[in-house]
Amino acid sequence: ATAGVAARTLFEVVATEAQRRIVDFDAQAMANTVWAFATAGVAARTLFEAIASEAQRRIGEFNPQDMANTAWAFAKAGVAARTLFESIASEAQRRIVEFNPQDLANTVWAFA
């Protein structure tokens, strides 16, 4: 973890609150939240499911980095989200020229 402090209870509280307020999250907030949980190795299936549903519905609001980081986080966490991945794939293909090399690499890693 970035801070070097294990804070499992904090993650649990954030997961609950984020689910409650998910409609208030923008694309970057959704991407950053799942990225943090995946990076920390904290399982939060219901949070990931809530974000998958909301992100899939609003995928057009995601920039390439948001899409890449979201896909990466779901893959890293081992959370299956077929509909979300189909939405990301479709949107990424449509907007591929907007992706920088890191976005491209992270996206295809997630789909590998």
Bigger pLDDT: 109 vs 1: 109
pLDDT band at 7 (very low <50, low <70, confident <90, very high): confident
Residue type, 63: N
- pLDDT tens figures, 12-41: 999 999 999 999 999 999 999 999 999 999
CA gap 78, 40 in Å, rounded: 13
Prediction pTM value: 0.92
- pLDDT tens figures, 72-105: 999 999 999 999 999 999 999 999 999 999 999 9
Structure tokens at 57: 């519905």
Structure tokens at 59: 């995928």
State the pLDDT at residue 22: 97
- pLDDT tens figures, 66-79: 999 999 999 999 99
Q: Taking a C-beta distance cutoff of 8 angstroms, is the pair 80, 45 a contact? A: no
* CB proximity list for 98: less than 8 A, separation 6 or greater: 63, 64
* Statement: residue 1 has pLDDT above 70: no
